[in-house]
Amino acid sequence: MHIIPAIDIIDGKCVRLEQGLYNRKKVYHEDPSQVAKMFEDHGISRLHLVDLDGAKANQVVNWKVLEKIVSETSLLVDWGGGIKSRKDLDLVFSNGANQVTIGSLAVENPVLFHTWLEDFGNGRLILGADLKNGKVATRGWQEVSDLPWQDFFKTHVTQGVKCIISTDISKDGMLAGPAVQLYSSMLKEYPEIHLIASGGISSVDDLEVLKDVGCFGAIIGKAIYERRITLSQLKPYI
């Protein structure tokens, strides 16, 4: 199972939110590139980089943070947030992202998303499934659609989506454990997907449970920043 630390960005700084609420923000570092270097120094090879300003603005905002991290580390970066046009997508790829996670656009314009999937391949585009009470949330989690995850998955997996990052918003930033039952249901219905769990991870025990369920990867954010999980404890998973 791949360990993927998260760096969420607001105003160019490394932050974390609770349950996706922008008014429940905590700044952990002024320079995200320093955090990325720390991860790399401990053997981490992947990074989930989220442009929270971009998600809210419906366009990529913090691409210079991506550029700096890519130029100063060899991390494989997955970018999320603000991808609403081909211009956004090209901007992020041209500044060094290895993969891009698409969430809101895949809800609002699935045909365009499928075109990109065909153009770039399912190795570079990840489907972002951010859920609240089982329904897909969009626009930086500020809006919740009527679309259940089952229909969302069916629409896109049948078109070739291989990798999915799924976040249970109620768990995110709360350090209360991941949505194990939800992920188990997803993998039971779609055993062929690479499912990356996100939200709620608070201990190494949580990682063991997600590994047993069959998750392809686990995104860890607040648990690292609050030292619930040390980078040394992640060594066996790297």
Question: Which pair of tokens denotes residue 130?
Answer: 């951010």
Among residues 116, 146, 151, 118, the alpha carbon closest in space to that of 133 is found at 146
Contact present, 42 and 231 (Cβ < 8 Å): yes
What is the set of active-site residues?
Answer: 8, 130
CA dist 173 and 176 (Å) reads 8
CA dist 64 and 3 (Å) reads 24
How would you class 178 by CB atoms within 10 Å of its CB: exposed for 0-12, middle for 13-18, buried for 19 or more? Answer: buried
Contact present, 38 and 29 (Cβ < 8 Å): no
